Amino acid sequence: MPGYVELAVSVAAYAAGIVAQSVAARRALRTGARGNLGLLGRLAGDPLYLLGFAGQVTGFAFAFLARAQLPLFLVQAAACGAVGLATVFGALVLRWRVRAVEVAMLVVLATGISLLASAASPAVARDIPTTAGLLLLGLPLLAGLALTRGGRTSSTTALATLAGTAFAVLAISSRSLADEPLSGLPLNPLAWLVLLAAVLGQACLASALARGSATATVAIMDSVTMVATSVVGLAVLGDRTVPGREWAVGVGLTLAVAGVLVLGLSARPGTTSTPATSATREPV
């Protein structure tokens, strides 16, 4: 049960952070902030935006703790579902405009997450051998680093895929590390791999956002992360399902990915109506 509580706190914190940061960003735009640097400069001194950032950090921390017990297919899908909770709050309390397609896809996303929750069986993950982990998980990061630093890719889709892959490495490594004593993490090479994955993921995400649609970028990134972590968690890390509920994992993951993709790819250009069409949160 503690794992589910930690996951619920993580999703709530992420949702609160999305709402706070969205409100702060819109307020900054109304007061005349223009351009990325001008907007960031104004937001850096906004207590509401900083509160939202604190929510994102809290969400990340509790998601890390939840991975000690819960399978990755549930944790990653629930993290993506935080935008749905933020949208519900925004629509009911802040009167954000929500289109019919967004409502439909939020229902699809919620249904998928519910199926995944019903199929999840808590268990401690198998440990990843240090050498094999650094080799197998480090290679995608090195390839992504070489591609981005060498300027060999400028495609928004490719950069979003690289970001999703990096965040998948972060989640997979975290799943193996989450049950370890926190005091020993600085000495564990896989913990440094998590840090490298986070930095590379953010760099690829920023590059993709600078070149294309924010909503499409986040949708592709989240989908890659969900699928990659779910496959590796079930095949390698020993993530478990409730006997007889294996079908719910396939259906639930399909619905969650479909909901995220349709929400992102169907967004109207330039819309700021809801976080479902405008938020760009950091995945866990």
Is 20 within a domain? yes
Q: How far apart are CA 241 and CA 120, in angstroms?
A: 5
pLDDT at 32: 58
pLDDT band at 108 (very low <50, low <70, confident <90, very high): very high
Q: Taking residues 36-60, report their average pLDDT.
A: 74
Q: How far apart are CA 204 and CA 220, in angstroms?
A: 12
pTM attached to this predicted model: 0.82
Task: List phi, psi (to 5°) of 240.
Answer: -115, 155
Q: Taking residues 97-115, report their average pLDDT.
A: 88
Is 87 within a domain? yes
pLDDT at 153: 62
Mean pLDDT over each residue of the chain, to the nearest integer: 82
Total domain count, the chain = 1
238, pLDDT greater than 60: yes
Q: Taking residues 30-45, report their average pLDDT.
A: 58
Task: List phi, psi (to 5°) of 120.
Answer: -75, 135
Among 166-170, 205-209, 223-227, 239-243, name the one with the lowest average pLDDT.
205-209
Q: Taking residues 205-215, report their average pLDDT.
A: 72
> What percent of the chain is predicted at pLDDT more than 90?
35
pLDDT at 30: 66
Q: Pairing between strand 240-241 and 120-121?
A: antiparallel
CB atoms within 10 A of CB 231: 15
Question: Which is more confident, 93 or 15?
Answer: 15
Distances (CA, A) of 254 to 23, 51, 166, 282: 31, 33, 21, 22
pLDDT at 260: 86
Q: Taking residues 215-221, report their average pLDDT.
A: 80
- Structural domain including 121 reads 2-278
Is 210 within a domain? yes
pLDDT at 272: 47
pLDDT at 243: 93
Is 245 within a domain? yes
142, pLDDT greater than 60: yes
Q: Taking residues 161-185, report their average pLDDT.
A: 89
pLDDT band at 242 (very low <50, low <70, confident <90, very high): very high
Is 283 within a domain? no
pLDDT at 41: 60
pLDDT at 79: 87
Give strand pairing partners of 81.
none
19, pLDDT greater than 50: yes
Is 284 within a domain? no
Please, what's the b/e burial string for 149-179 (b: 16 or more CB within 10 A of its CB; e: otherwise)?
eeeebeebebbbbbbbbbbbbbbbbbbbbbe
pLDDT band at 149 (very low <50, low <70, confident <90, very high): low
206, pLDDT greater than 70: yes
Q: How far apart are CA 255 and CA 105, in angstroms?
A: 9
Residue in this structure with the two tokens 């409730």, named with its chain if needed: 242
pLDDT at 154: 63
Q: Taking residues 100-127, report their average pLDDT.
A: 91
Please, what's the b/e burial string for 197-220 (b: 16 or more CB within 10 A of its CB; e: otherwise)?
bbebbebbbebbbeebbbbbbbbb
